[in-house]
């Protein structure tokens, strides 16, 4: 596991655990945030068409009410996109939201917050 993935996972779990609300409310907030960011594609100074294509494909998998398998597949596509962005030396701040979405989609699928 890459260092940035470990840091994001730790940050995500810390935010969820430190929240004063119930765990279910925390997961619901993640679901709302993820749904709101489904059409986002990072705007970077350096164009990386392959990574942008992967993000768009992941977004298209999440249209409507996605299944758990679609969420896991989208998470894998976003992980590939983050790797491509990193290899292209795109600043981390530009791709941070994609990395967060990748982790949250995987967690939501594991928790079962999706259509089976």
**115 φ, ψ to 5°?**
-75, 135
- Number of structural domains (the chain) is 1
The CA-based diameter of the chain, rounded to the nearest angstrom, is 41
List pLDDT tens digits, range 12-27.
666 665 554 445 566 6
DSSP string, 88-112: TT--HHHHHHHHHHHHHHHHHHHHT
Give φ, ψ of 89 to 5 degrees: 60, 40
Is residue 36 included in any domain, yes or no? yes
Q: Residue 116 falls within a domain, yes or no?
A: no
Cβ atoms < 10 Å from Cβ of 109: 20
Instruction: Give the range of the structural domain holding residue 68, as residue numbers without chain letter.
Output: 3-111
Looking at the chain, the whole-number percentage of residues with pLDDT higher than 70 is: 67
Confidence of residue 108 (pLDDT cuts 50, 70, 90): confident
Bridge partner residues of 67 (DSSP):
115
């Amino acid at each position: 596991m890459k260092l940035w993935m470990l840091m994001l996972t730790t940050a995500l779990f810390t935010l969820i655990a430190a929240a004063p609300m119930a765990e279910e409310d925390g997961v619901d907030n993640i679901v709302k945030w993820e749904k709101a960011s489904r059409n986002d594609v990072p705007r970077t100074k350096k164009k990386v068409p392959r990574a942008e294509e992967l993000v768009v494909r992941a977004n298209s998998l999440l249209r409507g009410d996605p299944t758990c398998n679609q969420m896991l597949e989208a998470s894998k596509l976003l992980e590939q996109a983050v790797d491509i962005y990193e290899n292209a030396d795109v600043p981390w701040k530009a791709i941070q939201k994609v990395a967060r979405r990748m982790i949250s989609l995987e967690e939501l699928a594991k928790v079962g917050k999706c259509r089976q």
